[in-house]
Amino acid sequence: MQFAQLSDLVESAPIAASDIDRRALLGNWINSNPDASSIARVKVSESSGQLRVQVFAVGPDGLFDWGTTNAAVFAAGPASKVGAGFACTFNFEFGEARLQGMIMKGLLVLAQFHLFKDDRVDYFLREYFAMTHELFGQ
């Protein structure tokens, strides 16, 4: 088994992408910052075993639906079946937005890499999202 760091030298039964438990990732995630001017909501779903991510960004006249794209699932370690993150890319005519999400203490920490084809400066943004739920509802 090849490895580039000792932590990748693991002995476990083979783990297929479909074996990874995605439950911690699935749901509707809202930006913890009500004053955000970037991504407002992220919907993570699953269809035929494929993780799907839909993004709603803040626009001048309401939310702007980026659409839905496939995402790669990442576990918590090379021998883990616990889903801990995802990565996906949204392509636009003017550039692309690469997203890397990871779950930390129940929050979705979303790293965003906005790369432009025009003369705008590429930028990085990291924001926190909470999963909407009804547990504390009256």
Partner 1 sequence: MTSTDKLLGRWINTNHETRGIAECTVAQDGDGISVKIVGVGEDGLIQWPVAKAIPLANVEEEAGQRTSALLATFDLGFMRAETHIRINKGVFVLVLFVTFLDDSGRANYVNREFFYRHA
Distance CA 57, CA 92 (A): 13
Question: How many CB atoms neighbour CB 108 within 10 A?
Answer: 24
Is 73 a binding residue for partner 1 by CB under 8 A? The answer is yes
Count Cβ atoms within 10 A of the Cβ of residue 89 and give its class: 0-12 exposed, 13-18 middle, 19 or more buried: middle
Binding flag, residue 94, partner 1 (CB under 8 A): no
User: Does 34 contact partner 1 by CB under 8 A?
Assistant: no
**Minimum gap (Å) between residue 136 Cβ and partner 1:** 27
Q: Does residue number 7 form part of the binding site for partner 1 (CB under 8 A)?
A: yes
Whether 106 contacts 27, CB under 8 Å: no
Binding-site member from 50, 70, 125, 132 for partner 1 (CB under 8 A): 125
Q: Please report where in the chains the tokens 């001048």 appear, as a residue.
A: 60
Q: Where do contacts with partner 1 occur on this chain (CB under 8 A)?
A: 1-10, 12-17, 19-20, 72-81, 84-85, 87, 98, 100, 102, 111, 113-115, 121-127
